[in-house]
Structure 1
Amino acid sequence: MNDDVVNGGTASVLARLILPLRPEWRRIVGSYVLATTSLLALAAIAVLAAWGVGGAVVHGAWPPPAWWFVMGGLVLLRTLLTWREMDVSHALAYRVLARLRVALFDAYARSVPARRREHSGRAASVAMTDIEKLEFFYAHTLAQLGASLTLFAGALGVALALMPSAALVMVIGAAVVALTAWAGAGPARRIGAEEQTEREELSERLVDALGALREVLAYGLQDRVVGEAVSGTRRSVRTARRRELLARLIDGARELILTGVVIGVIASTLLAGGIGDPRSAALAPAVVALAVSGVAAVADAAHTLSELHPLVASAARVDAGLRRPPVVVPVVDAGPPPAGPLGIRFREVGFSYDDRTRVLQGWSAEVRPGEHVGLAGPSGAGKSTVIALAARLWDPDSGDIEIVDADGRGTSLRQVADAELRDAVAVVEQDARLFHGTVRENLLRGTSGRTDEELLLALDRVGARDWITLDDELGEHGARLSGGQRARLALARALCRKPRILIVDEVTASLDPETERAISQVLSEVDATVIAASHRRETLARLDRVVRVDRPIVAATAGRPPSP
């Protein structure tokens, strides 16, 4: 947890997340109005009921007809408001959830986590668990907090008008309740942070185990994985029980405070000599109910605030995700790429990862429009880095990368609108992921307006039509397919976009010779500029020329196959 949160920046970190929720602010305010009206109606029912009972006991008569009419109206209003409040808050919850996840996705899309050493299990925990906690806060809790404080202010004002001594008891009771919240804040924050850390570590272990399931089975690590998961779960459960025990102790203290408020109001009435006055005696139960409603509202707010400490940690992680620095500079005065065939030019490009040594330094090369060029070099030399830079997934630290037209005129990638750049450039990575769904849905990712005939033609081109159909379900990440089949479908998906530049990264690296020849043949026949990083001779031999990437100083070599 960052220092801002530890040092009491609860309100600030939660307030910062209001920014992506601005389109929902009117609905959040509307939810507060509904919650406040509903809570005031409930308090009014309690106060009127106490007044009616007090009058009946003291005067021995039923309440007047107006009392029954108002009580019936309040009960009906409370019923309608409860239903409406639930309806509005649930609808708002889904909208908040969507807004925060879209904002987080946009931040990750701008920053491309792969450039940094980050764990996907932690990122998944932020996107799912943390945002779900925040959704409940902004859609439900925030309105309830505001309603509770509004009720206390209203109850205090009425008590001042009816019985100032009771108002003083309310202020004292509310102050003691707030004190319990302050006293429990430190331990609750520490235990909540500990619990969240344990859950994150457990999530990371499970993600690692599921991602390496074959290795786990092959090395007989099932018992060890299960044991670690059970041990982590037990630690998390023990910490959760400590948190719950602390919450129960604080809640018990607040119940005692409410009892003290009741006694204090009655005592203040006795000291004021009001019991001897029938009118004051009939009013006393209503004042007690009013005081209890007001202080109970503060107690509820204090309880909610004491439960916010794990939530603040979640808010801090989401806030950090939303404020991730982009790995590509936002385009200013963006325009479309040049018309016609396109090439790529690298001018003295330098690049390094955030926590690693420099990968490229002063590297220059050019791929002419329509040319098919291979990138060769030893592992770790920077071939995949060149691929990512050419697709503008990252920006170089120095130098520039240009899109080149048929006349050799260059336009910096920083001056091309991102959406139009994505239309012109398609990328197939070595570990390209297929999405859960049908083949048709996967082929249409990133494009639209393609007919089934065009999709089938793409399957034909990669030799996939004889073993799969457009309606076949692929499963998560294409789990039902072999590596070669996934590579073919990933290439078919890129071809469906009809790119002017096709960038391929080691797509044949782990394929059998037959599949490699088929994929290499497809690449050689693509009617577009092709840049293919590979260490396989079969793939490189079918390209027009080969550019070698060496580290740390890279030289462009044309027309020569890579050395063994």
Structure 2
Amino acid sequence: MTSSAGILARLLPPLRPEWRRIVGSYLIATTSLCALAAIAVLTALGVGGAVVHGTWPPAVWWFALGGLVLLRTFLTWREMDVSHALAYRVLARLRMALFDAYSRSVPGRRREHSGRAASVAMTDIEKLEFFYAHTVAQIGAAFTLFVGALVCAFLVMPVAAVVMLAGAVAVALTVWAGAGPSRRIGAREQQEREEQSERLVDALGALREILAFGLQSRVVREAVDGTRRSARVTRRREVIAQLVDGTRELILTAVVIGVIAVSLLDGSVDGAVDAGRAALLPAVIALAVAGVAAVADAAHTVSELHPLITSADRVGAGLHRPPVVAPVDRPLPLPPGPLGVRFERVAFSYDDRSEVLRGWSIDVDPGEHIALAGPSGAGKSTVIALAARLWDPAAGTIALVDAAGVAYPLGRIRDEDLRRTVAVVEQDARLFHGTVRDNLVRGVGARTDEQLREALTRVGADDWITLDDELGEHGVRLSGGQRARLALARALCREPRVLIVDEITASLDTESERIISDVLEGFDGTVIAASHRRETLGRFGRVVGVERGGQANDGGGYSRSTPVTVTTA
């Protein structure tokens, strides 16, 4: 099993650009903690001298104490300011790295739950941001202070340093003793919250169905039961934490008593205690308390990290997902002009399931419009995803082809070039929360309002919606046909040379289907459209049938596609 330190270390590479700020946060925290310890020691030294010798501390003592108080005040403010700023940067770095990992490894291929992915991206990373921005610095500062206090105690009163070291070891052992139960309960707590997140995502995504079938009370009951289970697990974890913290308090008390005892025994002569040692004793006690208390605070923090370790493990797993598309090596620039698509003996399967495509070959000429037909599960949507390079095939080659027949394999095309060239509209295309304008300009750069309105006009949406209309989450206020038209308009705004469409006319009314079919028919470029509706298929001059097992067949007056040779530039 990977150690806790190893799990947390897996997340460090994305945070490498922030290492200077993390080190700076550690230095500020260490200076602040040392200033607090110095205030305690200096105060004890002054009070001890006043009690034993009956004299007030000298002026330099007052100036030093006042300066340390001011320094501690400033550093406390500065430490929180730096930590919060760094926390936002850590949050952004981890989320960018996670989203980048997901862009290379589409979750849908691995049949993952979107609620789990959302929980990792939001809840888990939010737990981790302050750990790397603040907690790491606090733990490092605590151990730095302990080492400094131990050295000072050894120079002044070696026997007190021995007691300090023994107390610190005992405190560290409490972390080891509580690690097993805390980690098991922390993992269980995280699992309960994860399952609750999945339930809520499902409920919110199926809100209409829940209302239609009268399932409100059941959803609420399941949510309440899940919350109660999570609360019970949390209480168990808190009880263990309180027991361990109580043990540390006892150890700290024992250290104080031990320092007093060994100091008196070591410094006694015929039962009398040297006055100088007596005046110094409060300062040594304060130094011992500061050092061991710092270790106790660090141990408490480490004990509370077990739920965090689970979150870090999940984020680390997300960051190290195996990619479904390989990095582009020796990229090829795409030529101007129309481009076709070529499949050369392509094979593909989902996870460990049987092959969806096997030896699948077809040529789509530049500017040609073809439709893919076949029963559900035959692989039409898979062909669409492969043509857009959402996934890489297990075998074979997919390439864009220019008018001269030169092929440009998708694996040799930079992602930004491919996305500008190929636009995809899926059956369940998601609209983003925001205005129509916000959705149309996603990823396309600058577009004028006139260009955006022209796209709305092309899909017949200009008479029922405006650029400033709010869509709601996933376009919830729109019908299925309206969402399909806006998704198609968004793709047209990219001005692609290849337009790939997956079943967007499915379950639409006749008017919406006609409008979308008109747009596809009039598109000046290559079109690949998957559909099972005869009305849509009838608008294409060439229909490619996709059989189960991945072969292409005669779907409407054409010969079976034959393998072709792929050339590279």
Structure 1 vs Structure 2 CA RMSD: 1.2
Q: Tell me how far apart the structure 2 counterparts of residues 123 and 165 of structure 1 sit (CA, whole Å).
A: 55
Q: TM-score, normalised by structure 1?
A: 0.97
Correspondence 1:15 to 2:9:
yes
Correspondence 1:200 to 2:197:
no
Q: 2:64 aligns with which of 61, 70, 73?
A: 70
Shift of 1:561: 9.4
- Map of 1:135 onto structure 2: 129
Shift of 1:95: 0.1
Q: Tell me how far apart the structure 1 counterparts of residues 541 and 451 of structure 2 sit (CA, whole Å).
A: 27
| Secondary structure in 1 matching 2:267 | coil
Correspondence 1:406 to 2:400:
no
Shift of 1:415: 1.2
- Map of 2:417 onto structure 1: 420
Query: How high is the sequence identity, in percent, across the aligned residues?
Result: 73
2:332–2:408 CA contact under 8 A, matched in 1: no
Q: Tell me how far apart the structure 1 counterparts of residues 40 and 159 of structure 2 sit (CA, whole Å).
A: 20
| Secondary structure in 1 matching 2:333 | coil
What pairs up with 1:160-179 in 2 under 5 angstroms? 160-179=154-173
Q: 1:45 aligns with which of 39, 64, 72?
A: 39
| Secondary structure in 1 matching 2:370 | strand
Q: 1:111 aligns with which of 105, 111, 136?
A: 105
Q: 1:276 aligns with which of 257, 273, 276?
A: 273
- Residues 500-545 of structure 1 show CA distances to partners (whole Å, capped at 9, x for unaligned) of 0000000000211111111111110111111000011121111221
Q: Which amino acid aligns with 1:384?
A: S
- Residues 40-96 of structure 1 show CA distances to partners (whole Å, capped at 9, x for unaligned) of 000000000011111111111111100000000000000010111011000000000
Correspondence 1:33 to 2:27:
yes
Q: Tell me how far apart the structure 1 counterparts of residues 418 and 267 of structure 2 sit (CA, whole Å).
A: 83
- Map of 1:305 onto structure 2: 302
1:365–1:556 CA contact under 8 A, matched in 2: no
Shift of 1:205: 1.2
Q: Which amino acid aligns with 1:49?
A: T
- Map of 2:251 onto structure 1: 257
Shift of 1:473: 1.0
- Map of 2:213 onto structure 1: 219
Q: Which amino acid aligns with 2:39?
A: I
Moved more, 143-152 or 271-280: 271-280
Q: 2:489 aligns with which of 472, 489, 492?
A: 492
Q: TM-score, normalised by structure 2?
A: 0.96
Shift of 1:553: 4.3
Q: Tell me how far apart the structure 1 counterparts of residues 445 and 294 of structure 2 sit (CA, whole Å).
A: 54
2:505–2:516 CA contact under 8 A, matched in 1: yes
Q: Tell me how far apart the structure 2 counterparts of residues 178 and 153 of structure 1 sit (CA, whole Å).
A: 14
Correspondence 1:152 to 2:146:
yes
- Residues 373-428 of structure 1 show CA distances to partners (whole Å, capped at 9, x for unaligned) of 10000011000000000001111111111111112221211111111011100000
Q: Which amino acid aligns with 1:360?
A: L
1:439–1:473 CA contact under 8 A, matched in 2: yes
2:379–2:550 CA contact under 8 A, matched in 1: no
1:541–1:561 CA contact under 8 A, matched in 2: no
- Map of 1:501 onto structure 2: 498
Correspondence 1:87 to 2:84:
no
Q: 1:549 aligns with which of 537, 541, 546?
A: 546
2:435–2:468 CA contact under 8 A, matched in 1: yes
Gaps of 5+ in 1: none
Q: Tell me how far apart the structure 1 counterparts of residues 350 and 550 of structure 2 sit (CA, whole Å).
A: 16
Q: Tell me how far apart the structure 2 counterparts of residues 279 and 307 of structure 1 sit (CA, whole Å).
A: 42
Shift of 1:225: 1.1
Q: 2:48 aligns with which of 43, 51, 54?
A: 54
Correspondence 1:371 to 2:368:
yes
Across the two proteins, how many residue pairs are aligned to each other? 556
2:40–2:286 CA contact under 8 A, matched in 1: yes
| Secondary structure in 2 matching 1:351 | strand
Shift of 1:292: 0.3
